[in-house]
C-alpha cells in the first residue's frame, strides 16, 4: 500500500482545511501531518510527500522552511512529491508552493504535479468559494499519478 503524507503549516486554519480536503480526496493511503511533528523518520518507506503552507511574506512559513531544510540531500530519491499554498487574492502575492516544490526536487523528489494555489478572501480567511472542493479534486488527481 502507498504511504502518502500531506505535510502542512497553517496560521489561521485555512491551509489546514485545504490539507484535510486533499487527504480526503486522496483516500486511505494519505495521512495529515503538521509541520511541527515532522521528523526524518516520516520519510521511511514513503511513496509521496505533498507539502503546503500559507504564503507569509512572499514565501512559505518559517516552520515549513525549517522542515524542508531538515530533509537531507537525496533523502527523497524515489519519492513522488507536489506542493500547494494558500494566498490572498492580491496581484503581488509572492509564492510558497513553487519554492516548496523546488526544495523537494533538490532533496531528490520527483515532482508529479504543478504547484496548486488556493485563495483566501482575507488574511485570516475564509477560503474563497469552491476551494475545498478544488483541493479534494486535486488530491484525487494526485493519487492517480502514484
Ligand X SMILES: Cc1cc2nc3c(=O)[nH]c(=O)nc-3n(C[C@H](O)[C@H](O)[C@H](O)COP(=O)(O)O)c2cc1C
The one segment of 72-80, 84-92, 100-108, 136-144 that binds ligand X by CB under 6 A: 84-92
Q: Which is nearer to ligand X, 88 or 112 (CB)?
A: 88
Selected binder of ligand X within 86, 100, 101, 131 (CB under 6 A):
86
- Binding of ligand X by 83 (CB under 6 A): no
On whether the CB atoms of residues 62 and 96 are closer than 8 A, the answer is no
With vertex at residue 80, the alpha carbon angle to CA 13 and CA 65, rounded to the nearest 5 degrees, is 45
What is the C-alpha separation between 124 and 8, in angstroms, rounded? 16
On whether the CB atoms of residues 45 and 5 are closer than 8 A, the answer is no
On whether the CB atoms of residues 79 and 40 are closer than 8 A, the answer is no
Q: How far is the CB of 126 from ligand X (least distance, A)?
A: 9
- Binding of ligand X by 13 (CB under 6 A): yes
The one segment of 34-42, 62-70, 72-80, 119-127 that binds ligand X by CB under 6 A: 119-127
- Binding of ligand X by 65 (CB under 6 A): no
Amino acid at each position: 500500500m502507498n504511504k502518502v503524507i500531506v505535510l502542512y503549516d497553517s496560521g489561521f486554519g485555512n491551509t489546514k482545511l485545504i490539507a484535510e480536503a486533499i487527504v480526503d480526496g486522496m483516500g486511505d493511503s494519505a495521512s495529515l501531518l503538521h509541520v511541527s511533528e515532522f521528523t526524518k523518520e516520516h520519510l521511511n518507506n514513503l511513496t509521496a510527500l505533498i507539502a503546503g503552507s500559507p504564503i507569509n511574506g512572499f514565501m512559505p512559513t518559517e516552520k515549513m522552511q525549517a522542515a524542508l531544510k531538515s530533509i537531507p540531500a537525496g533523502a527523497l530519491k524515489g519519492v513522488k512529491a507536489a506542493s500547494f499554498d494558500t494566498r490572498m487574492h492580491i496581484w503581488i502575492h509572492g509564492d510558497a508552493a513553487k519554492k516548496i516544490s523546488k526544495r523537494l526536487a533538490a532533496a531528490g523528489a520527483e515532482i508529479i504535479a504543478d504547484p496548486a494555489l488556493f485563495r483566501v478572501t482575507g488574511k485570516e480567511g475564509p477560503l474563497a468559494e469552491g476551494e475545498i472542493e478544488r483541493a479534494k479534486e486535486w488530491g484525487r488527481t494526485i493519487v492517480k499519478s502514484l
